[in-house]
């Protein structure tokens, strides 16, 4: 039997993404953004408010990065979500994180996060009901320790942090459940 539960926005689970951009003085602005997702094989959509300091920096610089937070980076990932660059000038310094310019467009790559997408701004969608930043993914880098034997990112090694919109908790990935485009093949017959 199904029961009605508290209305919550967002899907489940939601990845914890860390969005970063350099301002005109090469200062890192960054934020935690749970409302983000792929919107094509080489594009990412971030549903973030236009009032965020990071959003304004992205709109000016046209270059940004999106990193995947991990279980190991939960404390600084949460901090950059609850602190605002609009009132805390030393937010990045307080986070204890380190950044280097990325190789594709110079956007900050935060070294502590295991996977990073370097992006260029494609468009800003701003309507009565939505504010969205869409970026073209120029390249992806990953810490060698999260790569599998095939040289690709292994989610079991990334330990991606997942946000639970229902209870406002963080969770970790529980392992492989099956293979995409294969698990349902038996129903094709």
Residue 25 in this model has a pLDDT that exceeds 90? yes
Residue 95 in this model has a pLDDT that exceeds 80? yes
Tokens standing for 92?
């990045």
Quick check: is 162 in a domain? yes
Quick check: is 6 in a domain? no
Residue 85 in this model has a pLDDT that exceeds 70? yes
Quick check: is 9 in a domain? no
Per-residue pLDDT tens over the stretch 4-24: 877 766 666 789 999 999 999
DSSP strand E in the chain: where? 14-15, 17-22, 28-33, 36-38, 43-46, 63-68, 99-101, 108-110, 115-126, 131-142, 161-164, 169-172
Element (H, E) at 80: helix 74-82
Q: How many domains does the chain have?
A: 1
Q: Comparing C-alpha atoms, which of 169, 154, 168, 85 is closest to residue 114?
A: 154
Residue 72 in this model has a pLDDT that exceeds 70? yes
List the single range of 144-148, 167-171, 173-177 with lowest mean pLDDT. Answer: 173-177
Question: Pick the residue with more confidence: 3 or 21?
Answer: 21
Quick check: is 8 in a domain? no
State the pLDDT at residue 179.
Answer: 87
Averaged pLDDT for residues 146-163: 95
State the pLDDT at residue 106.
Answer: 95
Quick check: is 52 in a domain? yes
Quick check: is 1 in a domain? no
Tokens standing for 27?
């200062």
Residue 122, C-beta contacts closer than 8 angstroms, at least 6 positions apart: 43, 134, 135, 136
Quick check: is 96 in a domain? yes
Q: 16 - beta bridge partners?
A: none
Per-residue pLDDT tens over the stretch 108-149: 999 999 999 999 999 999 999 999 999 999 999 999 999 999
Residue 50 in this model has a pLDDT that exceeds 80? yes
Q: Comparing C-alpha atoms, which of 36, 65, 70, 69 is closest to residue 139?
A: 65
Residue 166 sits in a domain of what CATH number? Answer: 2.30.110.10
Rounded-to-integer distance, Cα 11 and Cα 16, Å: 12
State the pLDDT at residue 10.
Answer: 62
Domain membership of residue 175 as a residue range:
14-188
pTM above 0.75, yes or no: yes
Tokens standing for 150?
């095939």
State the pLDDT at residue 11.
Answer: 66
């Amino acid at each position: 039997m199904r029961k009605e539960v508290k209305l919550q926005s967002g899907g489940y689970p939601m990845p914890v993404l860390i969005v970063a951009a350099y301002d005109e003085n090469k200062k890192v602005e960054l934020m935690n953004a749970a409302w983000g997702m792929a919107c094509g094989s080489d594009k990412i959509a971030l549903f973030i408010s236009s009032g965020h300091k990071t959003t304004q920096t992205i709109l000016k610089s046209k270059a940004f990065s999106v990193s995947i937070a991990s279980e190991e980076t939960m404390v600084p990932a949460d901090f950059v979500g609850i602190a605002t660059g609009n009132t805390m000038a030393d937010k990045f310094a307080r986070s204890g994180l380190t950044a280097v310019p990325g190789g594709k467009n110079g956007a900050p790559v935060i070294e502590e996060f295991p996977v990073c997408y370097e992006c260029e701004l494609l468009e800003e969608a701003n309507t009565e009901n939505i504010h969205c930043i869409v970026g073209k993914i120029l390249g992806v880098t990953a810490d060698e320790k999260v790569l599998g034997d095939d040289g690709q990112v292994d989610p079991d090694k990334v330990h991606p942090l997942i946000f639970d919109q229902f209870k406002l908790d963080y969770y970790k990935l529980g392992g492989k459940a099956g293979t995409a485009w294969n698990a349902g093949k038996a129903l094709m017959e």
